[in-house]
Structure 1
Amino acid sequence: MAIAYRLLNRQADPGRSCDRLTGMPKSRGRRKSSGDKKQRKPVRRSPLPLRLPDQVMRDARRQFGATGELLTAEAWASSWLGRAWLEAPVTEREPGQRLCLEVTGRASTTPSPAGLAAIAAMERVAPPDSRPMLASTVSILAETQPLPAWHASAGHHPVRAWRAVDVWDSERVLFIAYDGPTPHTLMAQITETGGTMVDKLGLLLPDAATAWSGMRDDEDIPMPLTEDDVPTALADLAAALRMTDMTWPRHNDEDFVELRALAWARCRDHLPELSEQQPLPDTERTRLIGAFTAAATHDTDPETADTFRSLAELFLDYGEGYITAGPLAWSPGHAALFLSDWLPRKAVLDHDQRTLLPDALKQWVDFSLTERGIEPRWIIPVTEAVDIHLTDFLEACDDHTAWGAAKQMAALLTSRGIDPNDQEAAIRAINAERLARQLTEHPPAYNY
């Protein structure tokens, strides 16, 4: 993450606010006059804040002049569409379309060059369903208003792509280079801990990818840069954006929100079909659990071996359901999430399992990453994460308010001597309890 920030700001003057793409200082507005101040009548302002489309139109009048660049216009429109997406309620499915419709209405009611430029900029990055309306509005307004100079540009086209993936497959950075009016690189930082998410987006200089290796320190986690196929990189970005959009609450990182619409416009045509992660074949699952149990418990008694085996099944369940790179791709982040969140909510451990959990999990991490061919020095940070976050598990595992519904039911059945894995016995017990509760709360009325 620190690398992405260094790339974003490497030309920035620390004393001034600078444009991320060009490194040029941003304008701070017109300086105040040093002459005598004139008495002005107080301006009466509305107590109500401007609605978002009105803010867009006001900002368009400040942003668009006689000159400008296409990339700047696209980034401007993307930032407003991103704000509409972030502020929309969860029930609103297409906040970008609503903003496009409202801005179009205002630009058509009071035509102006700035309004036309705003509509033309939004057309470049808006959701597909809004583009015909925006294009039609541009054609109508252009009959009486001058089009911005950048409108005739053919746009930017991807020419090369690279990816850098960490040693645990838990984080990757995509670089997609574009030519056109303003050559640049679109950067996307994607994390996998807790689910796929585009953590940050950035518009970088054209040589950002080639500068990647030189900007990494010796102590940084290995993330070697490899060239990638452009359609593959765009499909990866589109799939990650889709998963990020499914997350609630919405991801509110400023760099992501501002460039979300632009990134979608660049990669939407490459969006792959939604597919589910395939479970491990039974033979491979049996092999992994057997190999781990044999290696971890070769000098122990059968009861300890059974406990290790049950914990290995639990670790593998978590890996299959929550580690997108594969059930063996443990990282420090996955270890932290497993101990502090998933395990306290999902699993009921007996005394022996709780006692052996720390040792068993560290041995499982070592076993899993060795199976993946990870060097021992990069296994150590993951086992250290187990020690660090073990206290989180110990504090949360006895907090009944944090338990999920399934864990609460399993604990109730276990306390009554019923095996939660015995489906028929569990159903009989639940039905009996419901019937008893109904009879207690609403006793039948008998007529004698």
Structure 2
Amino acid sequence: MSPRSRSSGDPQSPPDEIIGIFDDMLRHARELLAVRSPLDAELIVSEIQGAWWGQRVPDGDVDRVVGEALAEHAGQAATPAALALLTGMAYLGTARQAVKAERAALELMEHGVARPGWADRVGMVTPEECFVSRDVYGDQDSVVCVYSYAGEDRHALVVLVDHNRSGMVRDAWVSSRVDTLLDHCRQEGRTNPLVRFERLDPRDARAMLEHALDRTDATVKPPVTDTFAAYHAFLRARVRALPPGGRRPVTPVHGGDSRATLAARFLASDEAEELSDRSAAGRCVDRIIEYGCEHDLGRPLRVSPVKCEMFLLDWLPRKVLLSPAEQEAMPHVLAAWVRWAGRRSGLPDEGIRAALDAVWDATGKFTEAYRDPSAFGLDPGLVRRLLPDGELDALPRRAFALPFLSGEHYLPGRGRIDLAMLDPADPADRRIMLEFEHPGADEDHLAAHERLAVRLWHGDPPQLWETAQALLDAGFERHEILHRLIEVLARCGDDPRALRAALGTLRHERPPM
């Protein structure tokens, strides 16, 4: 009989489809019985745990809902493969998973289940040295951390930190050919003028990687490689094995200059002298600086080929409403900015040339990628009313919040009002629009709709519009969605954490059949 038994009527038992997945994982865990190296065992366990990494569940944290339940299921299975999996989870799991896994493993051992040969060495690693390979643009860091088990099974963990993606980890992998890897990195650092390879204090490596991994874990659907999930648990454990006490590198910023001062200095520079439309150039450089300050860790002066491409082909088309003059001027202004900012930040000539090549290569694609809303049949005047700040991605949520922007409305004492003449960004005009949509509503009802409209207008919090879209996709009517969101706002008050949790639950609701 198993050390534990599960009652089929237990309300806490995972559903049958989850049990089937757990059984598949235990079959995968049989590979643990064939390996001799603790490193190989840890990588297999990490791969199993990666099966649920990044998944979202409606009723809580996936590591708790799935990971802890797997530890309990393995304890009930009471097989050598289950004990091997629990042994690995005790080291690689979250704190709560590790506690559950260790207790279950001890119980299986007390009942005579055989331990794997590598069990005493799992997790017994010592960090030896750390290095970092950096490109001169500041696009990414490849952190190399070398470990061994008491001098044996020496291996290197390589972690890619992408500073074009908020400094998150996007990839990780392991190599047992440590000397070959380090020789290659040193050779590239000597021969490639755009790469620097240097030693990194293990304490600083831990601080950097903890921060970068937190960024990845906090991002919904992060742009990681296909293999990253399999290494996530291993990476998390290896970072914990590094000594604490380090400091993350301070992100270089623009020297304390205000955005307006940076723009003025650029426009007065030799590099900007040939820009013909000075007015459009001024508005374009404001967007370049905005992108650097708000989406590149406060580094508007940092230029690189990848950053230029992301700015022109990803961020601008999605986020910013440009006038025709600004669309025409933007690539030329960006090229002038690359020359000016590259020179100020000390970028080598080779780096500046490569960034300029990227700008010109992307210019044709930018013309195709950038789509003015008027190209989709939207009235330009209507778009300008909804986007006075030029934030293009705000258009759908603001149109959802305030759909009645034309027609006439009669107000006692004021007569007929043309809604097309009102400014939805103005609180008084917005109130008239809401009165038109809800004729005869009392003050409390209007005030609740107004609070929701203001939040949707500003995207505060972003999960509010995400939830509205999910409910639209599920088949709810707009007015019903508004009232469900209003109820959540009233219930959660000023508690942002409670609001996010309530919206996460609401997002999974479905209309009655």
Shorter-chain TM-score range: 0.7 to 0.9
Aligned equivalent of 1:210: 182
Aligned equivalent of 1:355: 328
Change beyond 3 A, Cα 1:136–1:401: farther
Secondary structure of the residue aligned to 2:87 is helix
- Whether the 8 Å contact between 1:160 and 1:230 is mirrored in structure 2 is yes
- Whether the 8 Å contact between 2:161 and 2:170 is mirrored in structure 1 is yes
Change beyond 3 A, Cα 1:278–1:219: closer
TM-score by length of 2: 0.65
Tell me whether 1:432 sits opposite 2:429 in the alignment.
yes
Structure 1: gaps (5+ residues)? 1-46, 416-424
The percent of aligned pairs where both chains have the same amino acid is: 20
Tell me whether 1:293 sits opposite 2:262 in the alignment.
no
Tell me whether 1:118 sits opposite 2:85 in the alignment.
yes
Aligned equivalent of 1:265: 237
Secondary structure of the residue aligned to 2:183 is coil
Q: Distance in 1 between matches of 2:21 and 2:252?
A: 43
Change beyond 3 A, Cα 1:290–1:252: closer
Which letter maps to 1:182?
Answer: D
User: How do residues 326-341 of structure 1 correspond to structure 2 at under 5 angstroms?
Assistant: 326-341=299-314
Deviations 1:66-110 (A, max 9, x none): x62211111111101111114x32546532334443333333334
Deviation at 1:165, TM superposition (A): 0.6
Structure 1 residues 191-200 or 205-214, which shifts more?
205-214
Change beyond 3 A, Cα 1:193–1:409: farther
Q: Distance in 2 between matches of 1:95 and 1:348?
A: 38
Tell me how large the CA RMSD over aligned residues is: 3.8
Structure 2: gaps (5+ residues)? 1-15, 389-421, 442-513
Deviation at 1:268, TM superposition (A): 4.2
- Whether the 8 Å contact between 1:126 and 1:261 is mirrored in structure 2 is yes
Which letter maps to 1:256?
Answer: F
Which letter maps to 1:77?
Answer: V
Q: Distance in 1 between matches of 2:254 and 2:184?
A: 36
Secondary structure of the residue aligned to 2:46 is helix
Tell me whether 1:74 sits opposite 2:42 in the alignment.
yes
- Whether the 8 Å contact between 1:172 and 1:191 is mirrored in structure 2 is yes
Deviations 1:145-176 (A, max 9, x none): 23222222261111100001111000110000
Aligned equivalent of 2:163: 192
Tell me whether 1:230 sits opposite 2:202 in the alignment.
yes
Change beyond 3 A, Cα 1:306–1:273: same
Aligned equivalent of 1:380: 353
Deviation at 1:315, TM superposition (A): 1.1
Aligned equivalent of 1:130: 97
Change beyond 3 A, Cα 1:437–1:165: same
Of 202, 211, 220, which residue of structure 2 is paired with 1:239?
211
Which letter maps to 2:73?
Answer: R
Which letter maps to 2:85?
Answer: A
Secondary structure of the residue aligned to 1:349 is coil
Which letter maps to 2:341?
Answer: S
Deviation at 1:334, TM superposition (A): 1.3
Change beyond 3 A, Cα 1:408–1:373: farther
Of 248, 261, 265, which residue of structure 1 is paired with 2:220?
248
Change beyond 3 A, Cα 1:308–1:62: closer
Change beyond 3 A, Cα 1:430–1:412: farther
Q: Distance in 1 between matches of 2:88 and 2:298?
A: 38
Which letter maps to 1:439?
Answer: F
Aligned equivalent of 2:295: 322
Which fold has the larger relative contact order, with Cα–Cα distance below 8 Å and residues 6 or more apart in sequence? Answer: 1
Which letter maps to 2:364?
Answer: T
